[in-house]
């Protein structure tokens, strides 16, 4: 399929949120993701040659047709950059450097939601390990792809108890949120095809799913170019540091800095994250929590 001027590697690489994620594999010129669709499990494989302007997309499993139909969205080919032309540094320079990077739209709501719930209120290291345990315990290995796993379905996780999830490292709060989300998604299989505002509003009715989770979903699942992620401990200060040279900021300050860039606020967030710049650390790194008593 034609990809135009899209940087396929950078666009698909932005979908990898956790190190060692067993549902995804990224190699030079090749991206493989095992996922869960409304039509069942499926695996999508994208291959490309840098600068070729095309990509080959293959899919397998019950969800193959669903994945192939949505492949242009996954590769960012439907991301509209019209009207985004920052005139001032540093955003102008970041856009020049990363202008071929697009916002991908996975459409795989259950996969994305489950992974994000695991990431709530814990370190990235802990989240990565707990996600790996969850997927390899209750998911399914992909035939012919050693080490690649399909995440468990909402039907499977919706029947689990908190103690079962606690053994994987999830405390009661996240365990209950994950089970509640699974039950809700089993009733709303096609929610990802709804309008982003309606879809995220439905999800906020699930206890434990708040602005951080729905903001991430708006960006990842729906590919919303104007999505904003609030409630994160690090993003506001990162945005303030890159855009204004301020070492610390809260959500309100971040939203003020992003406001002039509507309707491309998530595009700006993506450029900030791709900049490689980080504010000076002003406090010791938080300690990993022991959840065995929670």
Cα 267 to Cα 58, 95, 196, 239: the distances in Å are 28, 9, 16, 12
Nearest to 274 by CA among 9, 14, 51: 14
Asked if 131 and 174 sit in the same domain, the reply is yes
Mean pLDDT of 223-240: 97
CATH, residue 115: 1.10.340.30
Asked if 119 and 184 sit in the same domain, the reply is yes
CA angle 25, 14, 102 (to 5 degrees): 125
* Cα–Cα distance for residue pair 138/152, rounded to 1 Å: 5
Q: Quick check: is 91 in a domain?
A: no
Asked if 125 and 203 sit in the same domain, the reply is yes
Q: Quick check: is 27 in a domain?
A: no
Backbone angles phi, psi at 209, to 5 degrees: -105, 115
| Overall domain count for the chain | 2
Q: Which domain holds residue 178?
A: 109-138+152-210
Q: Which helix (H) or strand (E) holds 44?
A: strand 40-48
Nearest to 181 by CA among 112, 230, 133: 112
Q: Quick check: is 122 in a domain?
A: yes
pTM of this structure = 0.93
pLDDT in tens, 83-121: 999 999 999 999 999 999 999 999 999 999 999 999 999
Asked if 167 and 257 sit in the same domain, the reply is no
The structure tokens listed for 37 are: 């669709």
Asked if 197 and 267 sit in the same domain, the reply is no
Q: Quick check: is 89 in a domain?
A: no
Q: Quick check: is 265 in a domain?
A: yes
The answer, yes or no, to whether residue 286 has pLDDT greater than 90, is: no
pLDDT of residue 294: 54
Cα 62 to Cα 31, 43, 162, 248: the distances in Å are 19, 9, 30, 47
The structure tokens listed for 55 are: 């990509």
pLDDT band (50, 70, 90) for residue 287: low
Backbone angles phi, psi at 57, to 5 degrees: -120, 125
Asked if 203 and 241 sit in the same domain, the reply is no
- Mean pLDDT (the chain, rounded): 94
Mean pLDDT of 30-35: 98
* Cα–Cα distance for residue pair 220/217, rounded to 1 Å: 5
Asked if 241 and 161 sit in the same domain, the reply is no
Contacts of 82 (CB under 8 A, 6+ apart): none
Q: Quick check: is 117 in a domain?
A: yes
Q: Quick check: is 244 in a domain?
A: yes
Asked if 116 and 182 sit in the same domain, the reply is yes
Asked if 156 and 204 sit in the same domain, the reply is yes
Asked if 181 and 265 sit in the same domain, the reply is no
pLDDT in tens, 139-159: 999 998 999 999 999 999 999
pLDDT of residue 292: 45
* Cα–Cα distance for residue pair 247/71, rounded to 1 Å: 39
Mean pLDDT of 9-38: 97
Q: How many residues does the chain have?
A: 294
Q: Quick check: is 12 in a domain?
A: no
Asked if 116 and 203 sit in the same domain, the reply is yes
Asked if 134 and 202 sit in the same domain, the reply is yes
């Amino acid at each position: 399929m034609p990809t135009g001027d899209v940087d396929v590697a950078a666009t698909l690489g932005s979908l990898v949120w956790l190190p060692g994620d067993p549902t995804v594999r990224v190699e030079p010129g090749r991206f493989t993701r095992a996922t869960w669709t409304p039509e069942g499990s499926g695996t999508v494989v994208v291959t490309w040659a840098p600068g070729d302007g095309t990509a080959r997309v293959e899919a397998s499993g019950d969800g193959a047709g669903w994945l192939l139909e949505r492949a242009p969205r996954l590769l960012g080919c439907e991301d509209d950059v019209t009207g985004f032309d920052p005139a001032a540094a540093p955003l102008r320079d970041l856009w020049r450097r990363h202008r071929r990077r697009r916002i991908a739209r996975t459409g795989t709501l259950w996969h994305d939601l489950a992974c994000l719930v695991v990431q709530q209120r814990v370190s990235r290291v802990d989240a990565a390990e707990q996600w790996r345990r969850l997927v390899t315990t209750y998911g399914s290995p992909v035939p012919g792809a050693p080490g690649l796993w399909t995440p468990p379905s909402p039907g499977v996780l919706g029947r689990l108890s908190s103690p079962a999830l606690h053994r994987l490292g999830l405390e009661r709060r996240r365990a209950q949120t994950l089970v509640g989300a699974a039950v809700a998604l089993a009733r709303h299989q096609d929610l990802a095809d709804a309008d982003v505002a309606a879809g995220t509003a439905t999800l906020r009715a699930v206890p434990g799913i708040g602005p951080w989770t729905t903001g991430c979903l708006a960006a990842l699942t729906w590919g919303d170019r104007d999505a904003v992620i609030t409630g994160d401990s690090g993003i506001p200060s990162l945005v303030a540091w890159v855009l204004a040279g301020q070492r610390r900021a809260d959500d309100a300050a971040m939203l003020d800095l992003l406001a002039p860039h509507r309707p491309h606020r998530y595009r700006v967030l993506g450029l900030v994250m791709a900049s490689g710049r980080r504010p000076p650390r002003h406090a010791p790194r938080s300690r990993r929590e022991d959840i065995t008593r929670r």
